[in-house]
Amino acid sequence: MEVVLFDDFKKIDMRVGKIVDVQEHPDADKLYVIDIDVGTEKRKIVAGIRPYYQKEELIGKLVIIVVNLEPRKIRGIESQGMLLAGLDDGVLGVLTIDRNVSPGTRIT
């Protein structure tokens, strides 16, 4: 197991994002292409959460995303961040905010 130091963890830029649109990935049954408002910009994130959520469940949710990752093509579509989620005993949960926090707010 790799040890992560606190100073390394502080380098991760996590922000609140508001999901504004969700589309099925045209080339992958388990992927969604998600448009997220992060305050100063919109980001497109490809996430493997399609088996766990209906599109309608996600739209409008305030979620936590990592924004300081290099963009990466996933099945031909550029993903501009990472949506945080956890899987426990076959149940996936996307990290959400339960208060009205503005998109773009930094998680500290």
For Cα atoms 13, 104, 49, give the angle at the middle one, nearest 5 degrees.
75
- Residue 6 one-letter amino acid: F
Sorted by sequence, the CB contacts under 8 Å of residue 97 that are 6+ apart come out as: 16, 62, 63, 64
Q: Is CATH 2.40.50.140 correct for 18-94? A: yes
Q: Is the pLDDT of residue 1 over 90?
A: no
Q: What is the pTM of this model?
A: 0.89
Q: pLDDT tens for residues 52-103?
A: 999 999 999 999 999 999 999 999 999 999 999 999 998 999 999 988 899 9
Q: What span, in angstroms and rounded, lies between the C-alpha atoms of 55 and 21? A: 8
- Residue 71 one-letter amino acid: P
Q: What is the pLDDT of residue 53?
A: 96
Tokens of 57: 């469940």
Q: What is the pLDDT of residue 42?
A: 97
